[in-house]
Every structure is written in structure tokens, then in C-alpha cells.
């Protein structure tokens, strides 16, 4: 892998997501040789992926070249690679570009989509964990509209104009809201041959309310906002099958659709090679202690979505979102510095900054401790927080400008079918994993 | 194709490039039913494609949704389709989404890459006529850099870091300059493992000077600018073969490379079905009179690159660039209005606004009639003119902002490998034609 020898202890980080990047940035200037591995050459700001899917933003606004991080230090190396396995006894990682040894290994591989074993969904559905997947959804939505215009088959037209999103967590809610905005604001202008009422957005949720991780209050508000936008919400509804044409559920509801987006769950994305005892099997996540050390290993750590740190407050581990990942990354940087100085490690303590979700323009819901609010001000807070956490000054400014433009013009500027999805389904397979 | 019947005469335009779009915009509010056909749902601003290839801009900055044009009129229809042929006797066009009849047909299909029959180049080379192709080149350049870092094979590394561009017209010159900027400004920071001197950019040209369509003076200046940037220029050099590894030429020059970009010529991209006499066979372009009427047809017109209008000043037709296309589109709009009123048509007269090319930052050359200048002021003019002609206020502003950012930071913000090219070579075949 051509990493030069160094007398400094080598930290290898697998994954440049929120956790891996937070750690890398903190260790850049410290006395470590740092090796960052990722299968993309960029960090993805996942909370805004749905805006790429719905033609509001281009990928460069929410992706950040990882070499722009590593360039700031001569002791830091980036390698574009897929890690295949770990041989912990030899402190060795195996990748498609060769092996690399480590003194400290940090696994920050995040999560992947959870199909709960339903093969029909995995085969025929779409999901949105990476930029290429988000772009595929963008192409599909626009291709469906173009196809609907020209088809004479009423049933086909209906299926093309039915958009089914499964899972009413923040991703599902935000995506449904954004597609509804597209229907309400862009379709009437762009597609005079389509009556916006023909286009239907269905949001399916297995639990009895939308945004299950949030407060009842925010949940109710989001429900109302979604209905105001014209999203059809189906609660207590579990998908049983999607054959590429028909969605079957555990209720009477059956929907014909060409667009089935699965956002109903994630599971850990571990690397092969560690002992079975390192894993919490059901969650597919590594069991870590309060120092993020993987169970059974001294020099292997896991942070972010892939780490399951049990505590009284979080018996099933922290929520698999950006904040715990960022905080664990920063915290581990401090602990690694302590470790090489043989100082006592400090336990991780999660500071919950709150949860939020946006539902179309002018509307969002925010839970911050006991404070819960929704509407225009929440939407404003949502925008501010997302701009704040976006990485890179340029990204912030381009995103900000695009938001203003889209807001004023009721427009979605990036409605370009660059890589047609339907004609190229194999791209998804080759390109990217779950 | 679901175009409603109308009592207005129907004008069908094939192609939303510079010519087709100029015509469509002028006819929108006139007494015609307008049908615009294109195989992409966006207009491509081709002069800036090389900036997409070299990670300066994202596609949304230089692409413009065609429905944003057609939305302004209820008599105007856009259809995303590939035209297969024309049956002129029946005033009928055949497409992959059905047939459509016309009263007036305007062919604005533009040009495609000319390989001059060299199959090895068509099979193994890259070219840059569309957004997906430009993105493929972006991915390839970045993938090569990533691969060079990890390879132990010195020969392989050399091939990965050799960039060969064939054809020193504006596209080849601008692309070479931009890759050289990448080498000079981004590689030293992003790739500490690569010595910028290992990375070589070779520009090959069959004629004895770069920028053959421009003045001797500008040609000389551009040559000097390219050399200052470190581009190796090989004049009087024709490529005979590229097998995917080795470039063979008619001289002693042979280059091992994994990046071979062909920008040595274009040829018309006609539609099947018209009489042989309509074509100038050698050029692959339709022979048109001064009203842009295709030879032998009353109600079929050709504009832009695909039209060959002979005149004393332009015995081989107008140059295949944006300006004649735009002017012909606008002019034909006027003539079509005259035609339905049975007024006398007016001949097209090309007003040559000049030619320009940019060579990296701060440097460009401009020919405007007898006025020829190069350097910083020319570069400024180049930027202004390109921003001016870019379509859409948002695109202008985003591009302008990205340019300022890249300029100040010596950076290329969009260096993202979204769709890896090497693992996905088939995408190019499926996606897009020449």
C-alpha cells in the first residue's frame, strides 16, 4: 500500500464518515502516523442526501474530498480502497490494494441499509446511503415523470406517478416532503401534461406514528405538515413484498409503483475477521466499552454507527446518527493521545444536542431536551444547523445560495437526468454496495 | 407521443443544443405549436465541459433543464427521446417513443466525435461531447492519481501519470491547460506521494501549430502559455493507434498512457431517412441554402453544426461552434414567421464575433476581427463572455462563485469520483453515444 515507515505509532482509520473524519481531523497534528481508508474519495454529508435525490443540490455541495483533510499533514495518508478483512493477531488489515499493519485500528465503517431479510425489497427497491444511490433516485424520479407524459397506458401512468417511501424516520419524512414539494411546485410548471393530483406520494410506517425517535409532539406536528403537503401517510403498515411493480403490505393497502424507496432501517456494516464475541450479533455492531475499545481487543476501537456502547441511558447503544459519531471520534482522539502517554483513559459521555427533521419549505420539527418546537422557526434552525455542520466553506456557501435560489423560485435547479437509471440498472450493482 | 392536436402549424425541433434552443426560445410566444425533442432532458453548455472533466464545476452549472425553456409556453412540448428516422414524404418522424408528424421540421442534431475511421481510438479512447463523458474523464483522471499512489510497478505508474490529449483545437488546449493546473496546484497538496514532475501532459496535433482555427499570433501565444504550464506539445504528429496502453504516432513518439483523450475532430450527426442529395457526404452534414432549408426539401431545415451552408466566405460551411448555431437558430425563427405569412425569406448572414481559448489561470487568447490579444485581459474577456452565454441566472452565479473560489484557493472543488470509470466501462457504452 506504499505507506512509508515511521517511528510514530500508526493509527489506521477505516471509513471517512462523520466518526472517522472527526477523529482524523483531531489527530492530524498529533504524534501519530495516520492512515485513512475509504472506498470513496470523499466524505458524504448523509443528512442532505435526500436533497441530491430530489434535485435541489449537486453532489459537490454535500461531499467533501477526503484528501482535503489529509493534505494538511505530512504524517497523514489517504488510500482509496475497500477493506476485506482484519487479522487481529498480526495487527494486519487486508484490502484490495494490499495489506497494511497498524498499531491502533479504528473501525468507523458506519451502517448499511437493513432489509430485515426481505429479498424482494433488496432486489427491486431503491435506498439512499451514498451519493451514487441518491443520484440514481434523482434520475428515476425524473425518468418516471418523462415516461408518464408519453404513455397511453393508464395503469402504467399511475404506477409511474406513485411514489412509495417506506419508513417514516427523518430520512423518509424529509424525502417524502421534498418529493411533495417537487409535485406541488415543479410539476405544474414543467409538466403541463401531468395533473399534479395524479402524482401521489405514499409514506408507509410500521409503527403507529411518524418520526418514532422524536417526541409525540413533534411527531404530531410532522404528521400534520406532511398531510398539508399532500403526502399520504399509512401508519401501522409493514411492507411484505415488492416485486418491482406491486407493493404488498400486512394491511389491505396495495400500491402499484415504479418507485419504491426503502428507508426503514439500518444495520451495522462490520468488517470480517474479528472474534464473534466482538459483535452484538442482532445489531451487527461491535460491542465497545466506554473507551470505544472493541470487546476482546486492546488496540482495536470502533466509533460511530458501527459501535454499540451500552449504558443505562442507552441500553441499546446510541442512536445511529451523526452526533454520537462526531462526539466519539473527537473523544477517541483524546483517548489515543492518553494511551500513548500511558495515561488513564476517560469514558465517553454522549451529549444529546437534540433531533430535528424538516418537512418541505418553511416547516420543520425540533426536539432539544425538554424544548420542542415546530414550524417556520424550527425550519430556520434546521437550515442553520445543517449549514453549520456541512464541511468546507465552499460547500456551505454553494448550498446556502442554492437554497435561497430554490426558495425564492419554488424551483429545483438540478433536475438533470445525467445517468439514466432505468436503462442502466447494473450501474447500481457495480458501483456501490448497500 | 401524446402531443395534442392544434390548429397552429407544428414545428418539430430535433436537438436542444445551441441552435435548437435559440430557435425554441424565439418561437415560444409565436403562433406555432412547438415540439422540442432531445435525448437528454437538459441543454449542455459544451464550451465549459472541460471544466467538468477537470473537477472545477459540477454538471448543474453548465447544464440547463430543457423544460425550463418549454415551461414558458402552453403551446410548447418537450419530449425526452431518441429520433431514429424521418419519412419526409409523410412529414413523419420516428422515435423510440412513437411517431410524430410535423408541418416544419428543424434538424439541430449537432455533431459527434470524428475518429476518421480509426477503430482503436474509438474503442480505447475517451472523448468529451456530453456531460456523462466529461464526468467519466473526471473519474478517470482522479482514479489514475489514486492508483499511481499505490502501485509498485514503475512502468504502470508512468502510464497512469501520462495524460495524452489529441487535437490542439480550443477543446484540446483548454483541457490540457486545466489538467496542467491540476498537476501544478492540486497534486502537490493532495498527493504528497506523487512528485508533480512525474505527471506529464502531452498535447498532440497533426498540423504545424496549436489552435489552427485561430490567428498565427494567438497560436504562438497559446503555445507559449501551454509550455509555461508545463504541457508537452507535439506538433505535426498524427496518432496511428491506441491499444489501451500505447499511443503510436507517425513520428518516433510513442507514449504509454492510461488516459487518452481524443479531441481531434467532429463530424455531423445526421438523422436517417432523407435523400442522399440532402447530405454533403464527406462532412456528414446537411447541405442547406441561405434560408437553412435542406437541399431538396421545402419544409425541412437544418441549423447549427449539422448544417453546411456554403458561401464565398465559408466555402466549407461555417465553423462548427456555438455562434453560427445560435445565430442560425434566431434567424430561422424569423424566417419561419415569414414563411407562414407567405412573406419572402431572408438569407442568413453570419456575423463572426471572434474566437477565443483559455490556457489555465490568467491566460487566454482572443481573435476579434483584426484585433488579437492574449494574456490576463484576454482571460478576463473569456470569463465574461462564457458567463454571459451560460444559460440561466443561477448557473451564472454558481459558476462565477466557483471560479472565484477555485482562483483564490488554487483549488478544484469537485474532485469527487462519484461513478468510478474503470470499474464501470460499460456505462459509457450504455449511456451515451459519440
Question: Residue B393: what pLDDT?
Answer: 85
| Total residue count of chain A as it appears in this document | 434
pLDDT tens-digit profile of B95-105?
999 999 999 99
Rounded distance between C-alpha atoms, residue A413 and residue A420, angstroms: 18
Q: What is residue A429's predicted lDDT score, i.e. its pLDDT?
A: 46
Interface of B with A in 174-203 (CB under 8 A): 189-193
Task: Show the cell assigned to B371.
Answer: 484585433
pLDDT in tens, B155-186: 999 999 999 999 999 999 999 999 999 999 99
Touching check for B421 and chain A: CB below 8 Å? no
Round to whole Å and give the CA distance between A419 and A426: 12
Give residue B243's pLDDT band: very low, low, confident or very high (50, 70, 90): very high
For the segment A108-136, the average pLDDT, to the nearest whole number, is 96
Same fold, B10-39+81-113+267-340 and B119-264+361-431: yes
Topology of domain A10-39+81-113+267-340 in CATH is FAD/NAD(P)-binding domain (3.50.50)
Strand blocks (E) in B45-170: 63-65, 76-80, 83-87, 92-95, 98-101, 104-107, 111-113, 162-166
- Model pLDDT for residues B190-225, shown as the tens digit of each residue: 999 999 999 999 999 999 999 999 999 999 999 999
Pick among A96, A150, A412 to test the B interface (most B CBs inside 10 A): A150
Is the pLDDT score of B431 beyond 50?
no
Topology, domain A121-264+361-431: FAD/NAD(P)-binding domain (3.50.50)
In this predicted structure, the answer to whether residue A118 has a pLDDT above a threshold of 50 is yes
Q: Which residue has the cell 466518526?
A: A19
Is the CB of A41 inside 8 Å of chain B's CB atoms? yes
> pLDDT class for B1, splitting at 50, 70, 90?
confident
CA distance A349 to chain B (A): 35
CA dihedral A301, A303, A308, A311 (to 10 degrees): 100
| Strand pairing report for A246-249 and A254-256 | antiparallel
Judge whether B90 counts as a catalytic residue: no
The yes/no answer on whether domain B119-264+361-431 falls in CATH 3.50.50.100 is: yes
User: C-alpha distances in angstroms, A334 versus A317, A328, A414, B136?
Assistant: 21, 10, 41, 41
Q: Which of A60, A193, A196, A427 is the best mutation test for B, with the most CBs of B within 10 A? A: A60
Domain boundaries, chain B: 10-39+81-113+267-340, 119-264+361-431
What's chain A's average pLDDT? 94
Give the gap in angstroms from C-alpha B186 to the nearest C-alpha of chain A. 10
**Residue found under cell 450504455:** B430
B135 touches chain A (CB under 8 A): yes
Mean pLDDT (whole number) for B319-337: 97
Q: For the range A374-380, what are the long-range contacts, defined as Cβ-Cβ under 8 Å and sequence gap of 24 or more?
A: A374/A217, A374/A218, A374/A221, A374/A222, A374/A225, A375/A221
Residues contacting B29, CB < 8 A, separation 6+: B72, B73
ipTM for the predicted complex comes to 0.94
Report whether A335 contacts A291 (CB < 8 A): yes
Amino acid at each position: 500500500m506504499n505507506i512509508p515507515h515511521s517511528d510514530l505509532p500508526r493509527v489506521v482509520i477505516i471509513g471517512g464518515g462523520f466518526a472517522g473524519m472527526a477523529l482524523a481531523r483531531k489527530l492530524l497534528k498529533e504524534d501519530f502516523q495516520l492512515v485513512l481508508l475509504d472506498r470513496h474519495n470523499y466524505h458524504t454529508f448523509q443528512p442532505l442526501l435526500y436533497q441530491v435525490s430530489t434535485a435541489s443540490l449537486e453532489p459537490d455541495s454535500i461531499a467533501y474530498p477526503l484528501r482535503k483533510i489529509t493534505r494538511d499533514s505530512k504524517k497523514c495518508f489517504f488510500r482509496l480502497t475497500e477493506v476485506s478483512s482484519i487479522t487481529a493477531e498480526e495487527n494486519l488489515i487486508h484490502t484490495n490494494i494490499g495489506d497494511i499493519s497498524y498499531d491502533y485500528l479504528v473501525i468507523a465503517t458506519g451502517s448499511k441499509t437493513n432489509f430485515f431479510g426481505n429479498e424482494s425489497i433488496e432486489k427491486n427497491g431503491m435506498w439512499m446511503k451514498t451519493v451514487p444511490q441518491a443520484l440514481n433516485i434523482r434520475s428515476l424520479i425524473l425518468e418516471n415523470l418523462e415516461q408518464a407524459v408519453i404513455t397511453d397506458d393508464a395503469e402504467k401512468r399511475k404506477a409511474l406517478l406513485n411514489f412509495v417511501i417506506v419508513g417514516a424516520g427523518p430520512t423518509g419524512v424529509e424525502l417524502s416532503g421534498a418529493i411533495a414539494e417537487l409535485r406541488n411546485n415543479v410539476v405544474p410548471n414543467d409538466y403541463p401534461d401531468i395533473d399534479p393530483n395524479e402524482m401521489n406520494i405514499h409514506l408507509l410506517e410500521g409503527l403507529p406514528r411518524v418520526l418514532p425517535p422524536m417526541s409525540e409532539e413533534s411527531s404530531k406536528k410532522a404528521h400534520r405538515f406532511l398531510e398539508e403537503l399532500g403526502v399520504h401517510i399509512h401508519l401501522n403498515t409493514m411492507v411484505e413484498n415488492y416485486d418491482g411493480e406491486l407493493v404488498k403490505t400486512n394491511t389491505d393497502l396495495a400500491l402499484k409503483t415504479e418507485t419504491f424507496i426503502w428507508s426503514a432501517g439500518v444495520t451495522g456494516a462490520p468488517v470480517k475477521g474479528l472474534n464473534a464475541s466482538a459483535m452484538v450479533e442482532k445489531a451487527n455492531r461491535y460491542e465497545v466499552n466506554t473507551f470505544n475499545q472493541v470487546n476482546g481487543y486492546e488496540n482495536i476501537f470502533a466509533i460511530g454507527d458501527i459501535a454499540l456502547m451500552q449504558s443505562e441511558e442507552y441500553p441499546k447503544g446510541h442512536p445511529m446518527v451523526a452526533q454520537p459519531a462526531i462526539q466519539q471520534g473527537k473523544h477517541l482522539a483524546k483517548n489515543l493521545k492518553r494511551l500513548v502517554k500511558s495515561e488513564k483513559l476517560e469514558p465517553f459521555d454522549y451529549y444529546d444536542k437534540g433531533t430535528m427533521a424538516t418537512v418541505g419549505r418553511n416547516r420543520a420539527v425540533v426536539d432539544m431536551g425538554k424544548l420542542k418546537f415546530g414550524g417556520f422557526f424550527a425550519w430556520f434552525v434546521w437550515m442553520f444547523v445543517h449549514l453549520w455542520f456541512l464541511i468546507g466553506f465552499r460547500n456551505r456557501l454553494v448550498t446556502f445560495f442554492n437554497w435561497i435560489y430554490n426558495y425564492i423560485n419554488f424551483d429545483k435547479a438540478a433536475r438533470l437526468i445525467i445517468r439514466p437509471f432505468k436503462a442502466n440498472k447494473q450501474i447500481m450493482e457495480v458501483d456501490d454496495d448497500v
